[in-house]
Amino acid sequence: MWGHKLAANTREEFLAALLSLKFFGLDTVRGLVLVEKPRGPPFVPVGRVGWGKVCTSPPPLPAAAWRQGRGERPVTYRSALGRGVYWFEQLGIFRRGREWAVAAGCRGRPPFFGWEKVAGWAVAELLAEAPYWRFWPPLAAPVEGHLLIAGGSGAGKTTFLKKYLSQVPRWYVIDLTEEGEYAGLAETVEGSVDLAAMDPDDQALLYSLGIAAAVGAREPAVSAVQLGALRLVARRGAGLAEFLKELREAPDIPQLTREVLYTKLAAACVEHDGGCRPHPALGRDAEIPPPPAVIRIRPDNPLAAAIAAHGTILKILRRAKGPLVLAVDEYHKIAPRLPVEDPVEKAIREGRHRGVYIAIATQNPQDLKQSLLSIIGNYVYFHLAPPAADLAAQTLNVPTWAVTTLKPGQYLARTRHGPAAGAL
């Protein structure tokens, strides 16, 4: 007997593919379609199946039954497809597809007395209760285009991204993890950005992105007036220390705006006693090695880390020549919470034209703007809680509970090539 995964974009495709077969088994424990001979698309072969450990518990019996009622129509039991292996076989020649035999068994095709005669529509109803996403094939190769990886803490995002990068020849990863999870995968450098070398608009953008990421969504980050003030002062100064000095003395900026911005940006100083010694990540221009490489951003100072991360991404995008994957782990730590476009968003919109693709790992897919989610094209979801799980379920075309009940290491995916599922 051969085992296959079944690639189907919708439940309807899943049912149509199964009902096109004359005889098949359904292993609901491991998510396999069992057939006598190897088959082509949309069936993805996983090899010959041994029967030693197919069933972990007795499957529920009977699989289907006749109900004496109005018209004596055959119906299925609710949630009849429990843990086990179920077998389906079409009956008849002239009524093919209208009548089926259904049985349950663990060691192969059941004996003659184990079958029940069932109407075709009842078989379709029975199969409709199968969690069809469990039959999707695993994601075994890099996808075409951008990629979003989302899941709660400890769900498996970083492990997945490491395996994914091992299949990509040219890549950078912006490592924002606490422990430096990616150190050792390739040449590793400390991420930094020389603010004095940035043009005024880029300086203002990086400052605002850093403030927005560090302050968070619980309180206002950077208003339109403050953003305008950042741009104005950036045109006068160079670097963080000079910027703060100019900001304190700027006569054409409202006092409250100056005080608020000064207080927020002063957090990026290592020492602040009337002056400012910038955090090391903001005072030098580290050389970025050729890919593959790990850019380590230490999160000890959230404001400096966010500025350095966005600045490093901006530098890579300006220098990079595709094909190239730029991965950002822990994106939720630097996600902008204001209506400006960060370098990650810019790469999503424009990167494909230059052969630069973004792979984002985050604890919450809602960190990305809705307009960006729709154009990424490839999604891998680990365990999520509502309301993020609702968004993932809508993208995957599965019930929300299919996302909330995923175990650590298990994922569901939708790519440009079709659905996928697997465990790390």
Q: What is the CATH number of the domain that holds 388?
A: 3.40.50.300
Last residue of a domain, one of 257, 280, 303: 280
62-67 mean pLDDT:
50
Other Cβ atoms within 10 Å of 180 Cβ, number: 15
Q: Which of these three, 280, 299, 327, is where a domain ends?
A: 280
Are 377 and 312 in the same domain? yes
How many of the other CB atoms lie within 10 Å of CB of 375?
11
CA–CA dist 136, 32 (Å, integer): 9
If you average pLDDT over residues 348-368, what whole number do you get?
88
Give residue for tokens 């994957």.
325
Asked whether residue 47 carries a pLDDT value surpassing 60, the answer given is: yes
- Look at residue 74 and tell me whether its pLDDT is greater than 80: no
**Would 34 be classed as within a structural domain?**
yes
pLDDT, position 73: 47
Q: Could you tell me which residue, 387 or 94, shows the higher pLDDT?
A: 387
d(C-alpha 109, C-alpha 111), whole Å:
7
Residues 290 and 162 in one domain: yes
Of the three residues 262, 280, 298, the one that is the final residue of a domain is: 280
Q: Is residue 245 part of a domain?
A: yes
Instruction: Decide: 372 and 345 in contact? Cβ < 8 Å.
Output: yes
Is the separation of the CB atoms in 205 and 340 below 8 Å? Answer: yes
Helix axes 200-215, 224-234, angle to 10 degrees: 140
Sheet architecture: strand order including 356-362: 187-190, 293-296, 171-175, 324-328, 356-362, 147-150, 379-381, 410-415, 418-423
Beta-bridge partners for 175: 296
- Residues 342 and 326 both lie in one domain: yes
Q: Are 230 and 208 in contact (CB under 8 A)?
A: yes
Is 321 a member of any domain?
yes
Tell me what pLDDT residue 339 has: 65
Give pLDDT tens digits for 109-134: 777 777 888 888 888 888 888 889 99
Q: Is the same domain home to 51 and 95?
A: yes
> Residue 333 above 70 pLDDT?
yes
Tell me: pLDDT of 223 over 60: yes
Domain extent for 118: 2-135
Q: Residue 272 falls within a domain, yes or no?
A: yes
State residue 57's pLDDT score.
Answer: 56
Evaluate whether residue 416 is within a structural domain: yes
Instruction: Say yes or no: 99 and 183 in one domain.
Output: no
In a domain, 142, yes or no: no
Q: Is the pLDDT of residue 22 over 70?
A: yes
User: 294 and 171, same structural domain?
Assistant: yes
In this structure, the answer to whether residues 204 and 242 fall within a common structural domain is yes
Domain count along the chain: 3
pLDDT at residue 39, as a whole number: 93
* Higher pLDDT pick, 342 / 113: 342
Q: Are residues 157 and 8 in the same domain?
A: no
- Asked if 13 and 118 sit in the same domain, the reply is yes
Alpha-carbon separation of residue 202 from 124, 206, 227 (angstroms): 58, 6, 12
Q: What is the DSSP string of 298-312?
A: -TTSHHHHHHHHHHH
Mean pLDDT, residues 178-192 taken together = 92
Residue 141 lies in a domain: no
Q: Same domain, yes or no, for 201 and 330?
A: no
Is residue 269 domain-shared with residue 209, that is, in the same domain?
Answer: yes
The more confident residue out of 57 and 195 is: 195
Are residue 181 and residue 245 in the same domain, yes or no?
no
- The pLDDT tens digits for 289-326 are 999 999 999 888 888 999 999 999 999 988 888 799 99
Q: Is residue 67 part of a domain?
A: yes
